[in-house]
Structure 1
Amino acid sequence: MAVTLPAVVEELLSEMATAVRESARIPDEHLLSLKFIFGSSAVQALDLVDRQSITLLSSPSGRRVYQVLGSSGKTYICLVSCHYCSCPAFAFSVLRKSDRLLCKHLLAVYLCQVMGTCQQLSVSDKQLTDILLTEEEEEHKGTN
């Protein structure tokens, strides 16, 4: 079974994508809906998009991973296929407490996809593996 976002979020992102295709902008009512659903994370995610902090890494094998340069200067890994981010806020607020749907990094990735503003970088399969392994090592250092 595929992991999906709640229907209201899927619908909002879909409507935003349609609006961007038709008018090259996100209507104010969609931005207000985003703020209502995600609170301050919506503004922070839009800031990450504005600062072009999201990069799609793709490898010859077809693997796709997003890197997000957070406001603190740390880079996080986001996997849209399973709605995952390597940041502490995701682990705590989304996974542990379940009081948020997404962290600002993952929301920024979805917004970047909607707006078609993702930076893209092709890497080898080995490079992508090394990036993922480095991220895992960093996470373990933080918990030890």
Structure 2
Amino acid sequence: MTATLPTVLEEILGEIAATCGEASQVPDELLLALKFIFGPSAVQALDLVDRRSVTRISSPSGRTVYQVRGSSGKAYVCFASCHYCSCPAFAFSVLRKSDSLLCKHLLATYLSLAMGLCQDLSMSNEQLSGLLLAEEDQEQV
């Protein structure tokens, strides 16, 4: 099962991908659209993208997760396939209050993918499992 993003965000990400392929700069109208939809978290997400904070981690089994190093230096695990982030803001603002579509880490993940700015890292299946288990343990604390 593949989760889908709101159509307007998919359109914006598609336009960003198309323009970043041609130029290394995102047009102002697309930046304004992101700011309009996501508010202050759009600026924070773009800052994470600028700092190359998103890493795509893949394993031989074909699993892919994204690790985003937040502005505080803490790393969060994001699953782009199901729109999930392990950060507290996602749990509170997106899941509990439903006042935001995405957290800044997940938005940075989608923007990095659209702009081709993800760092790539390969891990063994066991290492990836260990990373996810460690993340789960941190969430339960």
Does the pair score TM above 0.5? yes
Residue 83 (structure 2) pairs with residue 92 (structure 1): no
Q: 1:77-135 CA distances to partner (integer Å, 9 max, x unpaired)?
A: 00000000000000011011111000000000011001111111000000000000000
For residue 105 of structure 1, what is the amino acid of its counterpart? H
Deviation, structure 1 residue 23: 2.1
Partner residue of 1:31? Answer: 31
Distance in 2, Cα, partners of 1:2 & 1:122:
23
SS in 1 for 2:62: coil
SS in 1 for 2:55: strand
Partner residue of 1:13? Answer: 13
For residue 11 of structure 2, what is the amino acid of its counterpart? E
Aligned-CA RMSD value: 0.9
Alignment of 1:16-95 (within 5 A): 16-95=16-95
Provide structure 1 residue ranges, at least 5 long, that are not aligned to the other structure. none
Provide structure 2 residue ranges, at least 5 long, that are not aligned to the other structure. none
Deviation, structure 1 residue 5: 1.1
Partner residue of 2:111? Answer: 111
The runs of 4+ residues in structure 1 deviating greater than 6 Å are none
SS in 1 for 2:81: helix
SS in 2 for 1:102: coil
Distance in 2, Cα, partners of 1:2 & 1:114:
18
Aligned residues: 141
Partner residue of 1:2? Answer: 2
For residue 85 of structure 2, what is the amino acid of its counterpart? C
Q: 1:17-42 CA distances to partner (integer Å, 9 max, x unpaired)?
A: 11111223211100010111111001
SS in 2 for 1:46: helix
**TM-score normalised by the chain length of structure 2:** 0.97
Residue 115 (structure 2) pairs with residue 134 (structure 1): no
Deviates more, 1:20-29 or 1:57-66: 20-29
SS in 1 for 2:76: strand
